[in-house]
């Protein structure tokens, strides 16, 4: 199913080239460009500490420890795209409301959660995240950057923008000796992923299935092997390979960093 995010006019500059960066291959380099501005609405959840935003449908866990902080947002299901929108970045600006802060152009947030429908309420009065509404339920500190929180809900303009990340993609391991579950974090560029593969030092490439949110799984015995990952961006279709991300003595409960990222 083609999502509303793909339907926006993205300008992608792609270079058909293959090169090696710090010993790790990157294939089909693509640069993600901002989309056009569109109209939506925004609310907030939680309090000023953003404690209620921890965890969430994308599976990023502690958003402070994992680099996302309080500049986060829960997307309505129309935008969430069954979890494939996890990690995407948006600029959001308050629009034509007396609650807007006039001296703030916009704030930038990362999608880390789902705002589920509330079918007991009409979509124009409480059921803000009911399909087909495009809606942003922001962490309260992020909402307070663009509008007075007492407003509750404000019209906004939004656009997809490249995710600016420091360092490479990070892989958090869960599972057991026969099932590897990987949460993918710190994704740059489009911020999203459409598919993922894993390769042990004694195996070929093994296709991983989408579990939920930003996690992928492989039902395979991979213990005692160094692991590499092949990832494809949902938006740009760029594919990158992160070689030897985890050493042969890798373990669940740990997070491993690569040297590559999307642009």
Does some domain include residue 62? yes
Check whether residue 183 and residue 245 sit in a common domain: yes
Per-residue pLDDT at 168: 97
What confidence tens digit (pLDDT) does each residue in 79-100 have? Answer: 999 999 999 999 999 999 999 9
Check whether residue 71 and residue 147 sit in a common domain: yes
What confidence tens digit (pLDDT) does each residue in 38-52 have? Answer: 999 999 999 998 888
Q: Which residues contact 173 (CB under 8 A, 6 or more apart)?
A: 180, 181, 182, 246, 250, 251, 252, 253, 254, 255, 256
Measured between alpha carbons, how far is residue 42 from residues 100, 144, 146, 158, 245 in Å?
12, 11, 10, 10, 38
Domain boundary among 160, 189, 211: 160
Per-residue pLDDT at 177: 83
Domain boundary among 160, 183, 215: 160
Domain coverage including residue 70: 38-160
CATH code for the domain in which residue 119 is found:
2.40.40.10
CA-based R_g, the chain, Å:
19
Per-residue pLDDT at 26: 42
Does some domain include residue 230? yes
Helix, strand or coil for residue 25?
strand
Check whether residue 146 and residue 85 sit in a common domain: yes
Q: Which residues contact 190 (CB under 8 A, 6 or more apart)?
A: 32, 88, 160, 162, 163, 233, 234, 235, 236, 262
Q: Specify whether the CB–CB gap between 25 and 241 falls below 8 A.
A: yes
Q: Where is pLDDT greater, at 157 or 31?
A: 157
Kindly report the average pLDDT of the chain as a whole number. 89
Per-residue pLDDT at 51: 87
Check whether residue 186 and residue 226 sit in a common domain: yes
Check whether residue 151 and residue 175 sit in a common domain: no
Per-residue pLDDT at 29: 59
Does some domain include residue 10? no
Number of domains observed in the structure of the chain = 2
Check whether residue 184 and residue 151 sit in a common domain: no
**Does the predicted TM-score (pTM) go above 0.75?**
yes
What confidence tens digit (pLDDT) does each residue in 104-116 have? Answer: 899 999 999 999 9
Check whether residue 93 and residue 201 sit in a common domain: no
What confidence tens digit (pLDDT) does each residue in 181-204 have? Answer: 999 999 999 999 999 999 999 999
CATH code for the domain in which residue 231 is found:
2.60.40.760
Check whether residue 43 and residue 145 sit in a common domain: yes
- Kindly tell me if the per-residue pLDDT of 30 is higher than 80: no
Is the peptide bond preceding residue 132 cis, with omega within 30 degrees of 0? Answer: yes
Per-residue pLDDT at 17: 39
């Amino acid at each position: 199913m083609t999502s509303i995010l793909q339907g926006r006019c993205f300008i992608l500059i792609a270079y058909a080239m293959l090169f090696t960066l710090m010993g790790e291959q990157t294939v089909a380099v693509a640069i993600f460009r901002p989309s056009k501005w569109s109209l939506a609405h925004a609310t907030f959840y939680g309090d000023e500490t953003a404690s209620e935003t921890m965890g969430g449908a994308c599976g990023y866990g502690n958003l402070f420890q994992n680099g996302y902080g309080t500049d986060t947002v829960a997307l309505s299901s129309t935008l969430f795209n069954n979890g494939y929108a996890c990690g995407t970045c948006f600029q959001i600006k308050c629009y034509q409301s007396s609650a807007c802060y006039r001296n703030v152009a916009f704030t930038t947030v990362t999608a880390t959660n789902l705002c589920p429908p509330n079918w007991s309420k009409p979509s124009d009065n409480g059921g803000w995240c009911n399909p087909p509404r495009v809606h942003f339920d922001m962490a309260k500190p992020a909402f307070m950057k663009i509008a007075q929180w007492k407003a509750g809900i404000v019209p906004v303009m939004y656009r997809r923008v490249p995710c600016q990340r420091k360092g490479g993609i990070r892989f958090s391991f869960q599972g057991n000796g026969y099932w590897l579950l990987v949460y993918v974090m710190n994704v740059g560029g489009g911020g999203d992923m459409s598919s993922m593969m894993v390769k042990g030092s004694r195996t070929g490439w093994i296709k991983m299935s989408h579990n939920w949110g930003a996690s992928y799984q492989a039902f395979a015995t991979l213990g005692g092997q160094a692991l590499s990952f092949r990832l494809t961006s949902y938006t740009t279709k760029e594919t990158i390979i992160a070689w030897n991300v985890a050493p042969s003595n890798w373990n669940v409960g740990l997070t491993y960093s690569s040297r590559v990222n999307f642009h």
